[in-house]
A and B are shown apart, each in its own frame.
Chain A
Amino acid sequence: MSARETKLFLKWYAQQDLNALTAREVTQPLIHSVGLTTAIVIVLLTLALALPMLQKSRLAVSPLAQSLWIGQPEIESQEITLDRIDRLHKELAKPLPGIDRYQIRRFHLLTLRFASANSVDYPLMRGGTIGVNDPLARRMLPALAWNPADHGVVATKSLLRALGYSEDDNGPDSLLVRVSSNEPVMELPIVAIVDINLPDSMLFLVTETEYERIYAEGHEKASAKARTGMIGHDWPTQRELMLDADFIAKFQNQRGLTTVRRQLIPDRFVHVWELESNVSLRRSEWIETVKMLRDWLIEKDESYQAVDEFVLDTTLIDPESRSIDLSTQPYRLGEIWVADLDDLKDASVACRKAGYAANESAVQQVEDIQKSSKIFGIGGLVIGLSLLMNASWGIKLIQELRCKQKLAEIGMLKAIGMNKGELASVFAHQATFIWRSGSKLGLLGSTIGLAICCLLLTQSWAEVRILITCGLVIAALTLVGSRWVIKFSIMKGTENARNVAPMDTMRTS
């Protein structure tokens, strides 16, 4: 005699009881109901969890979603000066410690006049430059970023709309541009059209190569141009470092001479390399110190190979006489890029503390997602829990009804010595069986449901993976939860029957 044999018997008896024809009439609908509820709960909660994540992942891949813009005229921000940038660094470093969590880029804006297709007007448009291997270019136009041969303008759809082109058109191949009213019109090829939510002050971007060409042809500059960045990141490249060093050496050797043979692009004059404590090496360029050669022409494949002579203003030879350190000049536009969308809010607060009002449309987008995530989460949880509670209540009632029908049988089992614990274990076995069978159906149903959701809602394999991961997590939680719900409901539904005295059941039956 052993307790194990008793346990085996109770398990066997529980299964036999469920297999009985009369029991099947109850258990089969119960199993189907559990399966359906499980499937609905899994699909619903998975969508509640995954949809905000899908939204966020889509936002994260859009080029400028992780950027805040400061210094825009329409926001009436303060000028972006280096000391303020340092303060911004300090403010950003508090909530976002670590060098990889954010980056700051600063721009001097470029102003060009663009002509529309049907008009002779040349409305003034502001934009910026986009260089080879530029982080901005890499995010917006990865192919362009790695192709130094490409030259032209990257037009936004908003620019084309402003110029009178329709949404349905593929757009023009090139745009007519006048740098200033005195300059001749030139034609800029469009290398790409992007549909992104750029700040209003950046309606177009001119590729670095094209930018050099414009000024090489002798057009007036709309503004000075400066680039800064972290050494060791993406800029400057090794090639640029080498060329600059070479040029500086040549320039210094040629001090006092009136001509210099230069090997750099004509409007670049490198004169400051300085080491800043936390910001690393910075490079500034001030192009207006060198008078440009009017007939300069950059061949497509020889942008860095040209060798020509030009006349240098002798008054400029002595840097101290007319040197203007561009690093002291304010920038017109700054971009704060954060590695994680969730950090945007903190970055925005840090900007405000540093005295800059940031364009918070990106923050708003993230907050909208977080809000919808909460709504989806709470809604999904409420509906899911309601369904589980409803199922739990249904199971309890069904069990009560079934126990009423089986009261005499339960009384007899107690009369022959089955105690309450053993009786409970019989019902617990049955609950496990119902849960297992129902869960199999539920998993099948939810797999089909989520497969349909994948087909309808996702746009990439990454999004499918998000949905599958969420589905697996929710399915695991639901199965664990539903096991307890079913067990609790069944035990609750059989509680009275388990506690009733055999005498009462047998005398009344």
Chain B
Amino acid sequence: MSFRLENVNFRYQHGAVVPGLKKLDCQIEAGEVLAVLGPSGVGKTTLLMILGLLWEPDFKNRTVGNNGVGHVNNRLMGCIEYTDRRGNKHVYHELSAERVAKIRREEFGFAFQSSYLLPHISCIENVAMPLALAGYRREDRLDRAKTLFVGDLSDKTEHAFSELSGGQRQRVAVMRALVHDPQVVFADEPFSQLDERNKFALLATLMDWHRGSFRWQMPDNKRTLILICHDRKVAAKYADRCLVLDEVDAPKLVPSDSLNADSQGND
């Protein structure tokens, strides 16, 4: 699944423009790992949520301007288009609410800064939730979810979320984003508060999914990972390209190799 963003602007509710999202033009290719970099408050998470359709456009008040660009609630301007695995193109502001929910359920996976695990069900039920919504039988979904519980999590399937450490919770949350083998995973600094060991364990899980290493994954799937991170080393090591947002300058899309030199230079 690829994305094309054209002249995208986004405003806060009080009217100010999100600084990093000014006339954003870029193309995100299917199968790539894109790291989104930039200082805090520049609009990285906002961009992720817009791309992930977590920003629900006001479907009733949707209008189309003279230049053919969708204007939704006057907050999101510009055009975002995605191409599905069959090559069909879809414009965001033309999607129905039902279609949005279906895309979120089947095509997208989300990992946030907080784990947002449900406290009243077990870890494995948390992980298997996207499969349940997709209509998988209970045995099947629990079997698949169990394959993700490896290492120190292997005996924690029936534990409650409160019985896990912060790092473990975050890994379980990432498992939930991957378990239904989505086309795109949006990861919003999922390891920002983790130690090195947990961070790399989590990144390893993400990269396993990206490579299609799990036995239940589709073989020819071009999986896209959009990852927000502050760590340039991580971005340089794992990402194919980086989108650098800046409060002053226009957003830049650069190859991750170029970050190596910067990060080494910075170090």
Contact = CB atoms under 8 A, between A and B. Distances in A.
Interface of A: 1-6, 8-9, 13, 16-17, 19-23, 408-409, 411-412, 414-420, 422, 501-503, 506-507, 509
Contact of A9 (B112, B118, B132): B132
Given A16-B121, A416-B129, A417-B101, A2 B135 contact: yes
A5 B110 contact: no
B102 A408 contact: no
A501 B252 CA distance: 29
B116 interface: yes
Given A1-B136, A6-B132, A416 B55 contact: no
A503 B55 contact: yes
8 closest Cβ pairs, A-B complex:
A417-B105, A20-B120, A419-B101, A501-B56, A1-B135, A9-B132, A412-B116, A503-B54
B120 A16 contact: yes
Nearest to B125: A16
A304 B177 CA distance: 106
A498 to B, nearest CB: 11
Given A412-B116, A416-B105, A416-B110, A506 B54 contact: yes
B135 A417 contact: no
Contacts of A417: 101-102, 104-106, 130, 133-134
A19 B120 contact: yes
A6 B49 CA distance: 26
Contacts of A412: 112, 116, 118
Contacts of A501: 54-56
B133 A6 contact: yes
A17 B120 contact: yes
Interface in B125-145: 129-130, 132-138
B231 to A, nearest CB: 22
A418 B97 CA distance: 11
B176 interface: yes
B256 interface: no
B135 A506 contact: no
Nearest to B50: A503
Contacts of B56: 501-503
B12 to A, nearest CB: 11
Contacts of A420: 97, 101
Given A409-B118, A417-B105, 20 more contacts: A1-B135, A3-B135, A5-B135, A5-B138, A9-B138, A16-B120, A16-B121, A20-B119, A21-B120, A22-B120, A412-B112, A412-B116, A416-B176, A417-B130, A417-B134, A418-B101, A501-B54, A501-B55, A503-B56, A506-B49
A418 B116 CA distance: 15
A502 B106 CA distance: 17
Nearest to A509: B114
Nearest to B113: A506
Contact of B54 (A22, A23, A502, A509): A502
B170 interface: no
A418 B54 CA distance: 12
A16 B105 CA distance: 21
Interface in B89-127: 97-98, 101-102, 104-106, 110, 112, 114, 116, 118-121
Nearest to A416: B130
Contacts of A409: 116, 118
Contacts of B97: 419-420
Nearest to A420: B97
A15 to B, nearest CB: 10
A286 B176 CA distance: 107
B119 to A, nearest CB: 7
A507 to B, nearest CB: 7
Nearest to A21: B120
Nearest to B179: A416
Given A20-B119, A409-B116, A501-B54, A416 B104 contact: yes
20 contacts: A1-B134, A5-B138, A6-B132, A6-B134, A9-B132, A9-B133, A21-B120, A22-B119, A408-B116, A414-B54, A414-B101, A416-B176, A417-B104, A418-B133, A419-B98, A419-B101, A420-B97, A503-B56, A506-B114, A506-B116
Contacts of B98: 419
Nearest to B120: A20
Contacts of A22: 119-120
Interface in B196-234: none
Contact of B135 (A6, A17, A411): A6
Contacts of B102: 417, 419
Contacts of B176: 416
B157 interface: no
B45 interface: yes
Contact of A422 (B46, B49, B106, B133): B133
A5 B45 CA distance: 33
Contacts of A5: 132, 135-138
Nearest to B176: A416
Contacts of A2: 135
Nearest to B109: A416
A422 B133 CA distance: 9
A507 B45 CA distance: 9
Contacts of A9: 132-133, 138
B198 to A, nearest CB: 21
A21 B112 CA distance: 25
B135 A415 contact: no
